[in-house]
Amino acid sequence: MVGMPMPADDKLKEAQRKKPPGHKDDKVTTVFVGGLRKSTTEDKVIGHFSKFGQVDNVDIKRLPDGTSRGFAFVKFVDRESVDKVIEAKSSHMIDNKWVAVRPHGGSAFAAAQNAERSKQAEEIRKKEKHEDDLQQEDYEEKWSERYLQQAASMQKAA
């Protein structure tokens, strides 16, 4: 009925209908490729990445005048191809230039990024704490040394 509020289930179904099919999985099957030459074509990118699995789409980002911005998104048909590409991270050379390849995103990627950042932050905290402990030990050692020197000089004076 028109004008009647929709139940929660209907709202959810309506929202799902508005999203394009496969919307959630798009980023899971896509990799970011950075450092491309301005002259690199879609065909060269497809030629390189087709070794890892079936390429669905290559989107080289371009300026309004049509020149390449030097990066692209490569969408694969399946997730396994993305995993293979990421495993071979250090062997991607396109058009005689080494390029950087990273997963495009998605919740799993975000979780991995957050875990990596947390790990790095924890390592920094441990390092700083260790340095603080060393400074404290050094301070106590110097204080004890000075105390003993003062005590020895007082005994000599007496």
Integer Cα distance of 158 and 148 in angstroms: 15
> Within this chain, do residues 41 and 100 fall inside the same structural domain, yes or no?
yes
In a domain, 72, yes or no: yes
Is residue 69 within 8 Å of 63, Cβ to Cβ?
yes
Q: Give the end of a domain, one of 73, 88, 105.
A: 105
CATH number (domain holding residue 29): 3.30.70.330
In a domain, 4, yes or no: no
For the record, the structure tokens of 143 come out as: 């204080």
Provide the residue range defining the domain that includes 154.
106-158
> Within this chain, do residues 143 and 112 fall inside the same structural domain, yes or no?
yes
b/e 25-37 (16+ beta carbons within 10 angstroms → b): ebbbbbbbbeebe
Say what the pLDDT of residue 114 is.
80
Say what the pLDDT of residue 16 is.
42
Q: Which residues does residue 98 pair with via DSSP β-bridges, in sequence order? A: 93
b/e 84-113 (16+ beta carbons within 10 angstroms → b): ebeeeeeebebeeeebebebbebeeeeeee
Integer Cα distance of 103 and 92 in angstroms: 14
Residue identified by tokens 């390189």 is 48
The stretches in the chain having pLDDT less than 50 are 1, 6, 8-9, 11-23
Query: How many domains are contained in the chain?
Result: 2
- Residue 144 burial by Cβ neighbours in a 10 Å radius (0-12, 13-18, 19+): exposed
Is residue 150 within 8 Å of 158, Cβ to Cβ?
no
**Tell me: the pLDDT tens digits for 75-117?**
999 989 988 998 887 789 999 999 989 888 756 666 777 888 8
Half-sphere exposure of 19 (CA within 13 A, CB side): 11
**What are phi and psi for residue 124, nearest 5 degrees?**
-65, -45
Which residue blocks in the chain are alpha helix, DSSP H?
Answer: 8-18, 42-49, 79-87, 107-157
> Within this chain, do residues 132 and 74 fall inside the same structural domain, yes or no?
no
> Within this chain, do residues 48 and 76 fall inside the same structural domain, yes or no?
yes
Please tell me the pTM assigned to this model: 0.54
> Within this chain, do residues 95 and 54 fall inside the same structural domain, yes or no?
yes
